[in-house]
Amino acid sequence: MKKIETIGIVGAGAMGRGIAQLAAQAGLEVLLFDLNAQAVAAALDTLQKMWEKLVGKGKITSELARDSLARVKACSDLKAMAKAGLVVEAIVERLDVKRQLFQQLEEVVAPDCILVSNTSSLSITAIAAACKLPARVAGYHFFNPVPLMKVVEVIDGLRTDPAVGDALMQLARSMGHTPVRAKDMPGFIVNHAGRGMNVEGVLLAQEGIAPFYQVDAIMREQAGFRMGPYELLDLTALDVSHPVMESIYRQFYDEPRFRPSPVTAVRYAGGMLGRKTGEGFYRYVDGKKQVPVAPPVPEGQPGLRVWVAPYHCIGHKRASALLRTLGVGVIATDAPPADALIVVTPYGEDTSTVVGEHQLDGERTVALDTFFGLEKGKRRVLMCSPATLPQWRDAAHALFASDGTEVSVVNDSAGFVAQRMVATIVNVACDIAQQSIATPEDIDKAVSLGLGYPSGGPLSMGDALGAAQLLEILRAMHKVTGGSRYRASLWLQRRVQLGLSLRTEPACVAR
């Protein structure tokens, strides 16, 4: 493939501008066209200001700013794209309009010019189907804001020549971005993987498990994420996220794992879109998120006796160890004494299921999430059944907060909050691997850079937390809820059965 020195960009909106900035800074000549000439002028103005700002902050030299600006050429006619070695389409997200543009481009560009779409949700194969030379058409999916989101998905349509994808990977690297390679499947990698947190988050809201701010705090402070699901949805805004949820769900033919919820549909219809409208899951005053004040830690019960259920070996061990450090002796009888707080430590089950299965006293039973560890300072999560009495909830809250660690108390939920969210995230990522949409390495790279998830990506996270335990959680959630959305991915099951890392590709393949 010829070295790409001139890049055409059609569509000078948010994405087109970002791609122009990246390419020009990397030394490429940029031809920028938009149906709306004002959009091109506005883009140049924005770019100039952006580069001045970067010079002011000492991030780039004034020479680079000057040269980058000189490299961007405003074009008033699509014919100007004739010179380009690559044309990136970043126009309105409509298949008919994109197809028409690609046909027009084919009339203008050289036969070896690569044509790519920045689409988030349309099929590359479907766009290419309108072209005379579909082999040169691929997806090049950047994220917003382009210069800061340092990952790009390179998507091979069914007819894309692999050398085209290779050239795009190389170009991305030369611009300082990390390219990942994906098959043409709905949501590609990042928007597909994002279903885990988004969809499970809105389902938690629908089930009324806990106030939004508590769920977000749990995801940050217990599971180590940068943001919880509602903070993330408020940031991306529901006019973007809700249609994406619907679109990916439909494109996978009503896959239960991706089923959206009326929770976001109503908010979307009501204009409570998130940060940008001043109200979403949170209210924003002067751009600042308003977080409700958590209830105070209740008074502890002196002389409280605690019985820890032995049903889950790891959970029992962790809970007992913590209680010892909190100075509470754990009662070692087979059955709980009549006056003790009962602590259960389920993996994937709700409190009610454990109470019912073991004939415990539901009024005195509280569940403790031990899956993420119970170190001091890491938020702890307690879960009540509908039978738990407030005095036992308060006694447990006071006890587990007695070393100054934050405690959230949530309603009964199969998989607490973070267990179910993380298990779902890992499961969805495993299924992306199972469908060969991308390699395990690229799934981890794409998700950690595109979504900012911790632990180097969802498959590595699954390995670190314990794939066997995550499988156990999913199976229990599946059993308790009956929801096929929790069925475990075959990728996950097989790697647990074989004792392999979730990042293991098959040693040999079908032929």
H or E element in which residue 75 lies? strand 72-75
> Which among 141, 177, 192, 312 is annotated as catalytic?
141
Q: Are 226 and 220 in contact (CB under 8 A)?
A: yes
With respect to ligand NAI, which residue has the nearer C-beta, 96 or 299? Answer: 96
120 flagged as catalytic: yes
Cβ atoms < 10 Å from Cβ of 277: 15
Query: By CB under 6 A, what part of segment 133-192 binds ligand NAI?
Result: 143-144
Rounded Cα–Cα distance for residues 470 and 193 (Å): 17
CB of 178 to ligand NAI, least distance (A): 16
Instruction: Give the torsion through C-alpha atoms of 437, 111, 150, 196, to 10 deg.
Output: -30
Find the binding residues for ligand NAI in span 113-142 (CB under 6 A): 118-120
C-alpha span between 428 and 188 (Å, rounded): 12
Which position among 4, 7, 10, 328 is part of the footprint of ligand NAI (CB under 6 A)?
A: 10
Asked whether position 97 contacts ligand NAI by CB under 6 A, the answer is yes
CB of 91 to ligand NAI, least distance (A): 4
Q: What share of the chain is helix, strand, coil (3-state, %, to 5)?
A: 50, 15, 40
The reply on whether position 109 binds ligand NAI by CB under 6 A is no
Is residue 335 involved in binding ligand NAI (CB under 6 A)?
Answer: no
Catalytic residue of the set 68, 117, 118, 120 = 120
Q: In the set 1, 39, 135, 304, which binds ligand NAI (CB under 6 A)?
A: 39
Cβ distance to ligand NAI smaller for residue 94 or 324: 94
Helix (H, G, I), strand (E, B) or coil at 377: coil
Does residue 91 interact with ligand NAI by CB under 6 A? Answer: yes
CB nearer ligand NAI, residue 146 or residue 367: 146
Distance of CA 312 to the CA centre of its chain: 30
- Answer for which of 4, 7, 9, 12 binds ligand NAI (CB under 6 A) is 12
The answer to whether 150 and 177 are in contact (CB under 8 A) is yes
Preceding amide of 145 cis, omega within 30: yes
For ligand NAI, the nearest residue by Cβ is 13
Assess whether 397 carries a catalytic annotation. Answer: no
Q: Catalytic residue, from 153, 200, 406, 472: name it.
A: 153
Please select the residue that binds ligand NAI; options are 4, 7, 11, 233, rule is CB under 6 A: 11
The span from the CA of 337 to the CA of 69, in Å, is 76
Distance CA 255, CA 245 (A): 11
Binding segment (CB under 6 A) for ligand NAI, from list 90-98, 219-227, 336-344, 380-388: 90-98
Output 175 or 430, the one with its CB closest to ligand NAI.
Answer: 175
CA distance 197 to 129: 33
Q: Judged by CB under 6 A, which of 37, 41, 70, 92 binds ligand NAI?
A: 92
Pull the structure tokens for residue 82: 């004739």
CB-wise, 91 or 341, nearer to ligand NAI? Answer: 91
Which one from 68, 117, 191, 427 is the annotated catalytic residue? 191
144: annotated active-site residue: no
Q: Catalytic: 221?
A: no
Q: Which residues pair with 274 in a beta bridge?
A: 279
H or E element: which one contains 478? helix 467-481
Q: Are 113 and 85 in contact (CB under 8 A)?
A: yes
Residue 13 as a binder of ligand NAI (CB under 6 A): the answer is: yes
Residue 417 carries which side chain, given as an amino acid letter? Answer: V
Q: Which residues are catalytic?
A: 120, 141, 153, 191
Task: Tell me which residues touch ligand NAI (CB under 6 A).
Answer: 10-16, 34-36, 39, 90-93, 97, 101, 118-120, 143-144
